């Protein structure tokens, strides 16, 4: 989480506080697994490992973040807030139940209101698939981090999965990955999405057995890294 959020802090610094981060590896928004190239994946994992070993970034300018969770969450919500605080960000509380969203305010208007008072990063979990696309097209004036959209994307979870794999095996080449999580959920996409990337596995078998309901949690998906 810290490595991801560090992308939105300017001037950019690497986790070791010595080497500047390549601007080409930075995101304006982090919303989809499709944004992650081999170089970006390795960079984010390297940053995360450096933080685990005690590296501390120096943030000279105050940064403000808000976590907009329209679905219940424990681990993702608290993980992002912990990461924000460890980076020295000020976290502005946001409770959807007591916000103007309940009066019909659109998500775009909510983000514009938050940006107007100085919030620069919005971490959002929402039940609507691809909720972020119209927001990006509308050029909302802050950075969006997708913490889960409906049955769609969960890019931070994917990065945690990739980091765990690299910590365990030290590489990705030739590895097999299996997932038994519920079919067609963002939890299914997170560990399996890299299987469809050209730089990762070259074969994937995402379909359930014939006659198996798409909602079955017994469906097992496998893929293999060949690069």
Percent of the chain predicted with pLDDT > 90: 37
CATH of 2-149, one of 3.40.50.1370, 3.40.50.11810, 3.40.50.1820, 3.40.50.720: 3.40.50.1370
pTM of the model: 0.77
pLDDT of residue 7: 67
Checking if the pLDDT of 60 tops 90, the result is no
- For CATH 3.40.50.1370, the residue range(s) in the chain are 2-149
Query: Encoding tokens for residue 67?
Result: 């976590």
CA–CA separation, 128 vs 50, rounded Å? 34
Q: Write down the pLDDT at residue 80.
A: 93
Q: What is the pLDDT of residue 198?
A: 44
Which residues are tagged catalytic? 75-76, 103, 125, 154
pLDDT at 183 over 70: no
Contact 55, 15 (CB under 8 A): yes
pLDDT the model gives residue 14:
41
Is pLDDT at 195 greater than 90 in this prediction? no
CA atoms of 11 and 6, how far apart (whole Å): 10
Q: Which residue has the higher pLDDT, 124 or 152?
A: 124
Distance CA 190, CA 177 (A): 12
The arithmetic mean of pLDDT across residues 146-154, rounded, is: 90
User: Which pLDDT tens digit goes with each residue over 19-50?
Assistant: 444 444 567 899 998 888 888 888 889 888 88
């Amino acid at each position: 989480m810290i490595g991801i959020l560090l992308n939105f802090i300017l001037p950019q610094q690497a986790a070791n506080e010595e080497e500047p981060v390549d601007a080409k590896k930075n995101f304006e928004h982090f919303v989809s697994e499709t944004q992650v190239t081999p170089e970006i994946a390795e960079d984010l994992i390297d940053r995360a490992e450096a933080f685990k070993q005690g590296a501390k970034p120096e943030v000279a300018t105050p940064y403000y973040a808000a976590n907009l969770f329209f679905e219940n969450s424990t681990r993702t919500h608290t993980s992002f807030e912990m990461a924000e605080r460890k980076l020295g960000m000020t976290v502005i509380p946001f409770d959807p139940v007591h916000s103007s969203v309940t009066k019909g305010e659109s998500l775009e208007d909510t983000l514009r209101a938050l940006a107007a008072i100085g919030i620069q990063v919005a971490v959002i979990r929402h039940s609507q698939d691809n909720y972020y696309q119209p927001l990006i097209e509308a050029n909302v004036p802050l950075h969006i981090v997708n913490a889960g959209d409906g049955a769609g994307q969960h890019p931070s979870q994917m990065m945690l999965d990739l980091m765990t794999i690299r910590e365990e095996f030290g590489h990705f080449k030739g590895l097999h990955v299996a997932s038994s999580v519920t079919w067609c959920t963002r939890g299914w996409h997170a560990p399996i999405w890299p299987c469809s990337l050209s730089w990762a596995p070259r074969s994937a078998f995402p379909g359930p057995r014939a006659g198996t309901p798409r909602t079955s949690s017994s469906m097992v998906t496998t893929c293999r890294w060949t690069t």
